[in-house]
Amino acid sequence: MASSADVHVRICGQEIIKYDLEIKALVQDIRDCPGPQSALWELNSQVKQKFNKLRLRIQDLEQMAKEQDRESDRLAIQAETESQRRQMLSNQTAWRKANLACKLAIDNMEKDELLHGGENQSIRQRKATKESLVETNSNITESLMSISRMMAEQVKQSEDTIGTLATSSRTVLETNEEFKNMTGTIHLGRKLILKYNRRELTDKLLIFLALALFLATVLYILKKRLFPFI
């Protein structure tokens, strides 16, 4: 049965995918937009809202990765977060290209209007379009810079994780070496104990023999004194 944390991660991933698909659809709409300018503004406004929601959900997914107990789960969610960030960056680039394509289409439309009259109106529209596209490109550039900063932070976190793992590996190796040294010491101690046990047995045997010799000597002396005729 899936835990509450797993359910939240899965829901967050599904929402990220939904926003990604919605952004792709809106970018395609911008690419195909023939005008007027108000339609382009509306589409760009919707794209901005979707990117803001997508960015927040990616940040939520990153936070969930930090809260995982198992290292494997944390690394898997971090990898998914990084993948979604790259996808968001790709969508940002596609959004910018779509706006440039739309600008080209609107410029061509304005040229056609100039050829058929209405020169002043076309000039005003072209000026407004250019100002809008400048603002849009500025917003896209800001978004790209924000994503770059986020990716730099993620790279820093990955470096810190690798450093922690390296430290843990060194600690394990040092502990293993200490265990080897302890094993050698224990083995040497066991040999010494066996040696001392054998030495103790030999000492006991020598004492017994000396005591027997002493008793035999005493008995011999007593015999000679008490029973000299025997």
Q: What is the pLDDT of residue 1?
A: 39
Q: What is the mean pLDDT of residues 84-106?
A: 86
Q: Which residue has the tokens 């680039």?
A: 93
Q: What is the pLDDT of residue 21?
A: 92
Exposed / middle / buried, residue 60 (Cβ in 10 Å: 0-12, 13-18, 19+): middle
Q: What is the mean pLDDT of residues 44-49?
A: 89
Cα 155 to Cα 4, 82, 159: the distances in Å are 28, 9, 6
Are the beta carbons of 85 and 157 closer than 8 angstroms? no
Domain chopping of the chain, boundaries: 1-114
Architecture of the domain whose range is 1-114: Up-down Bundle (1.20)
Q: What is the mean pLDDT of residues 111-121?
A: 64
End-to-end CA distance of the chain: 101
Q: What is the pLDDT of residue 84?
A: 87
Per-residue pLDDT of 125-171, as tens digits, reads 666 676 776 677 667 767 767 776 776 676 577 667 666 766 766 77
Residues 6 or more apart whose Cβ sits within 8 Å of residue 43 = 26, 29, 30, 33
Is the pTM for the entire model greater than 0.95?
A: no
